[in-house]
Structure 1
Amino acid sequence: MKTKNILQYLLVVAALFMYSCSSDSDSDSDTPSGSGGQSGLTSIMVTASSQSFEIGNTVTFTVTGNDGSNITANATILVNNSSIQGDTYTPSATGNFEIKATYDGLTSSTITIEVTPPVIVALRVETINTNIKVGDTAEFTVIGTNTSNNDYVVTESASLSVDGTPLVGNKLMATTIGSMVITASLNQLTSDPITVTASEETAPGVFQKTVTVIDATGTWCQFCPRVSYGIELVEAATDKAFIIAAHSGDVMQNTASQTLVSQINPSGNYPTAILNGTIDWTFPEPNNVEQVTNLATGTTSSGLSVNSLVVGNNLKVYVSAAFAASMPDAKLAVYVLESGIDSPQVNGTSYYGGVNPLTAADGFTHNHTLRSSLTAVLGDVIPSENTVAGQKYTQIFDVPIPNNIDNPDEISVVAMIIGNNFEIVASNGGHVGVDKDFN
């Protein structure tokens, strides 16, 4: 009897031991040892279909486990630490790129691929501006073709020429009537020529009226933000208003601005805003926007075409004044302006939330600031034979960018036809690089 009990006891102990071992074994199979998670892998490797290739081509990556299995479809591939979709990649820039892969908690070693510039074997010049008017700008794109017949834009590295004369940049302002032959070169390659033809600019019989707002201002002037705010309302209401901010007594003052301020504000009252050279903008200016916009309604008998272009360190400006009716003693004035200038502005008004001083951090910058005049500030006399009905007067300026310009990208140009007593009868202009036809 005792023997039977002992035997039963031993059988129970043996069963418990086997169950315990079985449980331990099951637990180990759920979380294998090592860093490979459930896959059982201990390392992975990424390879590329090509280690070095020209830009524009596509590389394919393959990810394999240490057991030789292809796990690409389930792995994550990273290029310069950014994951990509799928297993292919087409670089958009040249240089070296670091590639690695991750899978099931494992990270591969990093490999490097090199993307080289294309080997160009042919060039061509393209433009949509094959037929333009005098005063217009043609822009060119240089395309290079490699041995695989892939095209690349190589404008920045190529050189352009016009009738054999090197062109600075890739834009050409036409200043004469006729045809021009354009070619491009890169290394030892030269493109086939293309031809751009410039025809005469034709003025309309009548012109849209415009309004010129001259703002005599200064950063020290506590009430001048009232006029600035009114100008913003005008610009929101019409695109026929041309603004000139003439500064006095601050860092933006210059000879041109002082001459203009003396003309429109001889009494020295600030702020002063003058419309078309002779009309006071009624106080409070923000409440009298219609006074300004009404002056830009209807038609008139003279108008302007203006184009400007930054060419290297120079500013090139084309201006044409046209007359549908005779205007003896007409003058032409051309100003260079700059916007986006950050200089603290004293603000004693409730405009702009009453913030004082106003800075770029508050969303306030000085715009349309008069920097220089390409003519006499009050205008150059237009020859009388050019001011009779049906005639035009053209001026081309090619001058160094004024040294008080902070940012050439913020340049704008405004031109004006001025009559007796500084009455501005027409104006036109715009941001540098923008062609403004007769209004």
Structure 2
Amino acid sequence: MKKNLILLFIACLALVGCSKNYDILNSYSDIILTADSSVKVINETITFTVKDNEGNDLTDDTVFFVDGEEIEGNTFTTDVVGNYEVTATYFEVEADPIVINFHDGTGINFRKRVLIEDYTGTWCGWCPRVAYGIELVHQQTEDVVAVAIHRPSSNESSPVYDPYNFDSSELENYIDIPGYPKGLLNRLTQWDNPEPNNINQVIALTQGENPKLGVAMNTAISGNDITLDVNVKFGKDFGNELKLVVYVLENGLIYDQHNYTTYYNSEDPIVDFEHNHVLRACLTPLMGEIIPNNETGILNVYTKSFNISIPENITNTGNIEFVAFVTDAEGNALNVRSAHPNEVQEFEEL
């Protein structure tokens, strides 16, 4: 009788039918730790979140550590100025650490946003890989600004014809990374392939030390005219050569997209694919317009104004998007901001 009961117990476990509370936990090799802010004034609170690559929230089952000491829950505050390293463990999986900062209120920092430039093409069957990766990133953070740079031919008889082609040869020659697709983070850092499996690389750039400059735009469209003021505020004395880049994008463009990937249900072509954040015009030189050194001092606000006609290749003025960012002397984007028509933005000071 005892033997029969043991056999019954083993069978019950195998079938997972003897306990209503039995849950099968997913296996994770990567988890992504983020903070709602990387910088706060002392005695303010920072909240931490952990998600997987697909955006599932794992926070409730995660243990958080600050400078190696376990904390209760997923929030932290302190009255001591300084930097703190935060780590997190979801069962046996560890997240990449992040650094947060508490200051006394005298420091000037700005919200950090990351630029993704996606070199793509409607003819390019592998390019949906990056587009899908961008969608996954947007599910996890609002601190990313995407730009789709379509390549490489405007010749309708060419096998690589793209109706949204934008000549970015000067920039691509500087980057010197051949082939498509390629995703560049903050202009010069290549997003590792396959991009949908490496969204943690992007998220990590939204964390840590915050930039010492911020961007705010005032935009207006009236009839066929665009009025755009790009404002840059500096939280320290830069002194070195900074450049401003300003893009005009268009969203909601519909055109078939070739697809050799398993994303988007492996459909090829993807009929009536919606192309977003498509680069339509650059209002500055593509490599940037120099901001005079005497304008880059602490607390100064530099303003560049544009009064232009709506670019002729724009098909729907309601879908226009503006992007502005500042690069350093090497070309790395230091901070970026996007705006829609008829928007008045404030600086995102922290």
Change (3 A) 1:345 1:261: farther
Superposed displacement of residue 288, structure 1: 1.2
Q: 1:254 & 1:280 partners in 2: Cα distance?
A: 20
CA contact (8 A) 1:248 1:258 kept: no
1:344 lines up with 2:344 in the alignment: no
Q: 2:201 & 2:227 partners in 1: Cα distance?
A: 34
Q: 1:315 & 1:296 partners in 2: Cα distance?
A: 31
Q: 1:219 & 1:260 partners in 2: Cα distance?
A: 20
Report the counterpart of residue 252 of structure 1 in structure 2. 164
For the residue of structure 1 that corresponds to 2:252, the secondary structure is coil
For the residue of structure 2 that corresponds to 1:385, the secondary structure is helix
1:293 lines up with 2:203 in the alignment: yes
For the residue of structure 1 that corresponds to 2:256, the secondary structure is coil
CA contact (8 A) 1:315 1:398 kept: yes
- After superposition, the C-alpha distances for 1:342-370 in whole angstroms (9 at most, x for unaligned) are 1211100010001111133xxx3111111
Aligned length: 231
Report the counterpart of residue 143 of structure 2 in structure 1. 240
Report the counterpart of residue 378 of structure 1 in structure 2. 287
Report the counterpart of residue 329 of structure 1 in structure 2. 241
- After superposition, the C-alpha distances for 1:63-99 in whole angstroms (9 at most, x for unaligned) are xxxxxxxxxxxxxxxxxxxxxxxxxxxxxxxxxxxxx
> Which among 321, 335, 341 is matched to residue 426 of structure 1?
335
Report the counterpart of residue 437 of structure 1 in structure 2. 346
Report the counterpart of residue 391 of structure 1 in structure 2. 300
Superposed displacement of residue 259, structure 1: 3.6
> Which among 387, 391, 406 is matched to residue 315 of structure 2?
406
- After superposition, the C-alpha distances for 1:104-152 in whole angstroms (9 at most, x for unaligned) are xxxxxxxxxxxxxxxxxxxxxxxxxxxxxxxxxxxxxxxxxxxxxxxxx
1:278 lines up with 2:181 in the alignment: no
Q: 1:413 & 1:261 partners in 2: Cα distance?
A: 21
Q: Which has the larger radius of gyration?
A: 1
Larger relative CO (CA 8 A, sep 6+): 1 or 2? 2
For the residue of structure 2 that corresponds to 1:344, the secondary structure is strand
Q: 1:316 & 1:402 partners in 2: Cα distance?
A: 13
Q: 1:335 & 1:214 partners in 2: Cα distance?
A: 11
Change (3 A) 1:258 1:241: same
For the residue of structure 2 that corresponds to 1:422, the secondary structure is coil
Change (3 A) 1:403 1:263: farther
Change (3 A) 1:263 1:411: farther
Q: 1:345 & 1:358 partners in 2: Cα distance?
A: 5
Q: 1:262 & 1:333 partners in 2: Cα distance?
A: 17
1:312 lines up with 2:223 in the alignment: yes
Structure 1 unaligned regions, length at least 5: 1-203
1:230 lines up with 2:133 in the alignment: yes
Q: 2:277 & 2:174 partners in 1: Cα distance?
A: 18
Superposed displacement of residue 311, structure 1: 1.1
CA contact (8 A) 1:247 1:258 kept: no
TM-score by length of 2: 0.63
CA contact (8 A) 1:329 1:381 kept: yes
Superposed displacement of residue 223, structure 1: 0.5
Report the counterpart of residue 120 of structure 2 in structure 1. 217
Report the counterpart of residue 302 of structure 1 in structure 2. 213
For the residue of structure 2 that corresponds to 1:417, the secondary structure is strand
Aligned AA (1:222): G
For the residue of structure 2 that corresponds to 1:353, the secondary structure is helix
For the residue of structure 2 that corresponds to 1:433, the secondary structure is coil
Across the aligned residues of Structure 1 and Structure 2, the Cα RMSD in angstroms comes to 1.5
- After superposition, the C-alpha distances for 1:166-218 in whole angstroms (9 at most, x for unaligned) are xxxxxxxxxxxxxxxxxxxxxxxxxxxxxxxxxxxxxx921011100011111
Q: 1:418 & 1:300 partners in 2: Cα distance?
A: 12
Q: 1:358 & 1:336 partners in 2: Cα distance?
A: 26
For the residue of structure 2 that corresponds to 1:421, the secondary structure is coil
Change (3 A) 1:260 1:359: farther
CA contact (8 A) 1:208 1:297 kept: no
TM-score by length of 1: 0.51
Superposed displacement of residue 261, structure 1: 3.5
Q: 1:433 & 1:297 partners in 2: Cα distance?
A: 30
Q: 1:263 & 1:370 partners in 2: Cα distance?
A: 18
Q: 1:260 & 1:242 partners in 2: Cα distance?
A: 18
Aligned AA (2:147): I
Within 5 A, what are the aligned runs for 1:34-113? none
- After superposition, the C-alpha distances for 1:227-267 in whole angstroms (9 at most, x for unaligned) are 00000111111111011111112221133x44444443x34
Within 5 A, what are the aligned runs for 1:159-174? none
